[in-house]
Amino acid sequence: MKRLVSGELVQVTVDDLNDDGLGVGHVAGVKAAVVVGNGLPGEQGEALVVHRGQHKSVLRLFDLRGSTNDARVEPECPRWTPGSPCRLMHTSAEFQREFKRSLVSKALAREGFDRPVEACVSTGNLSGWRSRIIYLTRQHRGRALLGAYRRGSHQVQGMQECLLPEPALLQISERLIKVLEDFRSLLPHSTPALDAGCGEPRTLNHLRANLGKPGSPSTRGGGGELKYLALRANARGACMVCFLGDLPPGAAQELAGRTIAAGASSVFIGSSGPGDAVFGAEAPSWVAGYKSLIDEVDGLSFELLPRTFFQVHRDAAARLQRDAVDCVVGTRVLDVFSGVGALALRAAKNGCQVTAIESVPEARELALRNAKRNGLELRLVGSEADQALQSLLDERAGAEPPFDTIMVNPPRKGLGPGVAPRLLALAPQRIVYVSCNPKSLAKDLSELSGAYRLTQVTPYDLFPASEHVEALATLERE
């Protein structure tokens, strides 16, 4: 049986896509499966062996021979590679939506559901949609650099040419790179990428030269260290800037003043976390400009801080939130994993009496301020979801179900231990589930399915050109 060798060119056939949006296929005479990053089903051609594993090898298709999948398109970004965050940019928008619908459908099928999944909803804008971005701040050969790590390494690639950020973020980035040129002593030195490709080298020669390269960065610096730059824009183009690292106080004040002069609406400075963690344990401190950023989403305004979770595709998030709240029945609503109140406040605006559960203190405070800002009433329970639900059950003490609808919007891991049984005990007429992970969604729906019937599942494309998908599911009490 033939064994692949890293760096060799082989003939490969692509059979399918996996859940990560990567081609999977086979090489004649090779038993182990192969992942062909940029391959699409039905395609054949010559591919470079990027990594040889015992059970799975990774290839990059360079020379297509024979028929090309009809969904293949020229990537909009000239720097695109299979290692880019925009993993599906080499496919048509229709193909991407169907792929995401199939991810949700397959996840449900694995848990025994045969409910048809609706077509994936997309707002259509495939670039210029991202309202938040985090850069590595580095220097190389005496020049400041705003970049990101290449996938699987600590090689730093420049990211100022990325097509995803909103125009306001690109404009402030161009100004800030000039500011940082005067603060190079605070910037760690970088291990540079070999070429301009995003995620990995684009060309065959550069990719071969990169094989087996260690990815450890050099972090020498003097006086302090500025590791990350977090930017967030609102719908009107105002930009919040947050510098993260270990900055000397004098330099921090001077940097903040220069940043305001460059057009930022507010400046925060905070510590970074251990390893590659962006944010430290303490919330960043306000230094200059406005003390928060006010964003507007579909008729509601939200106060945001540097590390606040808020969907980065404003238009797509607005559509998903509207549709979720449209699924509400009755007027008594519970919103679990409420965050800063994106769903809760929309339900309150529709006339519902809303109780929200949120465990993060910073998010709770913002949710209450956002309720006041929008002239809405919101009752908030501040503890972990399972504990808060148990408290609500104790308040009920055998009375009628206290809520007509319960909305849940958990993190990627899903509801977590103890949440589903307590949702069942609260016995709402309807459960509206917003998910960012089809696998955890399907698992949680299975746990709820004994007492509830799954009536609708719709995917939403909040991260165009990537393999990620959100979903909205509704369950009715049997």
CA distance linking residue 307 with residue 466, whole number of Å: 23
Closest by Cα among 447, 455, 459, 458 to 429: 455
* Contact criterion met (CB below 8 Å) for 431 and 408: yes
163 burial level (CB within 10 Å; 0-12, 13-18, 19+): buried
Torsion angles phi and psi, residue 85, rounded to 5: -60, -30
Residue 352 annotated as catalytic:
no
CA distance linking residue 184 with residue 379, whole number of Å: 48
69-98 as b/e: b if 16+ CB within 10 A: bebbeebebebbbbbbbbbbbbbebebbbb
On the CB side of 160, how many CA atoms lie within 13 Å of its CA? 14
Closest by Cα among 202, 222, 260 to 81: 202
Catalytic hit among 162, 239, 242, 436: 436
Q: State both tokens at 279.
A: 């944010």
CA distance linking residue 256 with residue 242, whole number of Å: 9
Crossing angle between the packed helical segments 419-426 and 438-448, to the nearest 10 degrees: 50
Q: State both tokens at 444.
A: 């949680």
What sign results for the dihedral spanned by CA atoms 102, 105, 109, 115?
A: negative
Closest by Cα among 248, 429, 404, 428 to 331: 404
26-65 as b/e: b if 16+ CB within 10 A: ebeebebebbbbbbbebbbbebbbbebeeeebbbbbeebe
Q: Which residues are catalytic?
A: 436
